[in-house]
Chains A and B, each alone.
Chain A
């Protein structure tokens, strides 16, 4: 599988990352090597094998609603880079 710089640009955009040119070139080569190695899985026949996402047969875990105290808003906002005591602050997103 050939990994191109265009593909790295695309997945970087999806990941909200902007790699500097030099880092992008190195990353492209590394990803290509790693993905080529991953292709070994194609030598294994998995026809009719169900994908296994969870190791134990857990279904949606439901319980009756219970009222419990929430975290203190100020304490939660204290862990963020910018807040005004009420909410997280970000640049204007909608004109």
Chain B
């Protein structure tokens, strides 16, 4: 078995026993990156990794990994895949980077994404689209497409992505890997370049639920530098994975299995429910009619927050500035108009519209009211069930170019993932099969707030009995 076929924890074990050296692990990662980068474009910046200072610092010490390019890394370019941040080199590390570095993480570089994490296919990147290692004519998903593609192609053993409306889970599903969005507030957002602050959360993309648990053990926990960081217990997720689902009740929201869902995806997710049942869970269908309203609510809130958050990019403080301007206002306008791509501009304008005088109550305030109803619907569901199981996306990975022509259609494809961010819940995407074209299908497990361990344990149970997460694209680099 090649090193790149191991999970992060399996590689870590070989590092700890001395069977593999750190140098060999880094060389294996670099060889995979050299083989795959030209075809999948997963990386934006490659770094010369420093070896882990303390090889016994954590269960993942010495394992090569990478960060999505909206996570600030001291001394390493951080672009959000945007022209406007060209040349921006942060002088500080995000809390997540600080914690992982202290735990012996070895970073291979920064990963491609949709510009400012706005998109569902990683095609809005200023630096070219990410291609799916399973089929290079298809999208890797988004916005953490580089993270999912790099893990799928065996270039790194795990990656840190961010998820505002599905941006970890959906690319993980499209690329056949496991991705987890933890409970809002459990991972510090300090150093994550904000898209929609009330929804953004960082998390791992890896080859298994156990790897995700090991990463979360290292990055969760209160951080005084993030005012929304929760003072909740952290750590112990990996050691709590038992695979025991006896007595657990899992709800299947009927509204997530209806119109618009590809029949092959439906069949694979329902088959996953049978696996969980065989491990002792009770599975039951229930109605969640609020699903009809989640996409518009999400896009109103996310765009409103984005229009405010992205006002800091004006050609003065960070990155790139337009040439030939007349005065200060013209400098702002030209820099922003030339520096942002069209999807980012669309969301800034939409956000400005829903916040503008005369429309605020009808759109923004209304969305915040519907958000309260969505949270209530999930609270009621979790009064009855320990977990919910849904598809991650209505289809498998689309062909490159298909999604950009119709933004509304792209927004609608986020239907199964955005509600989780609105309600602040933990959710995981795990591979559960392939469609007739050989593309991976993902199933989503959603837990109650702070139920990250319950979600991971159910995914771990599923992965003990199935081999979908162990499949790699042909040849690994899908040449």
| Residues from chain A with Cβ under 8 Å of B91 in the complex | 71-72, 75-76, 78-79
Name the residue on A nearest B361 (C-beta).
Answer: A51
Bound-state Cα–Cα, A58 to B231, Å: 11
Rounded to whole Å, the gap between the CB of B64 and the closest CB of chain A is 27
- In the assembled complex, B382 has its CB within 8 A of some CB on chain A: no
A18, B198: Cβ atoms closer than 8 Å: no
Given the known interface contacts A14-B356, A35-B353, the answer about A81 and B372 at a Cβ–Cβ threshold of 8 Å is no
Name the residue on B nearest A52 (C-beta).
Answer: B372
- In the assembled complex, B80 has its CB within 8 A of some CB on chain A: no
Number of interface residues of A (CB under 8 A): 51
B349, A31: Cβ atoms closer than 8 Å: yes
A11, B356: Cβ atoms closer than 8 Å: yes
Binding site secondary structure of chain B: helix
A38, B184: Cβ atoms closer than 8 Å: no
B293, A17: Cβ atoms closer than 8 Å: no
B371, A7: Cβ atoms closer than 8 Å: no
Bound-state Cα–Cα, A77 to B228, Å: 28
Task: Report which of A15, A58, A80, A88 forms a contact with B348, defined as CB distance below 8 A.
Answer: A15
Residues of B whose CB lies within 8 Å of any CB of A are: 87-92, 184-185, 198, 224, 227-228, 230, 292-293, 296-297, 299-300, 307, 311, 314-321, 325-329, 331-334, 336-337, 340, 342, 345-346, 348-350, 352-353, 356, 362-363, 365-373, 375, 407-408, 411, 422-424, 449
Q: What 8 A-B pairs are tightest by C-beta distance, nearest first?
A: A51-B368, A55-B424, A81-B321, A75-B91, A52-B372, A46-B369, A38-B296, A49-B369
Given contacts A15-B349, A19-B345, A55-B375, 13 further A-B pairs with CB under 8 A are: A11-B353, A31-B349, A31-B353, A34-B408, A37-B296, A40-B292, A41-B367, A55-B422, A56-B228, A72-B91, A81-B320, A88-B317, A92-B327
17 A/B residue pairs, CB under 8 Å, sorted by A: A17-B340, A18-B333, A18-B334, A31-B353, A40-B293, A41-B367, A46-B373, A51-B369, A52-B372, A55-B424, A71-B91, A79-B87, A79-B90, A80-B317, A81-B321, A90-B328, A91-B327
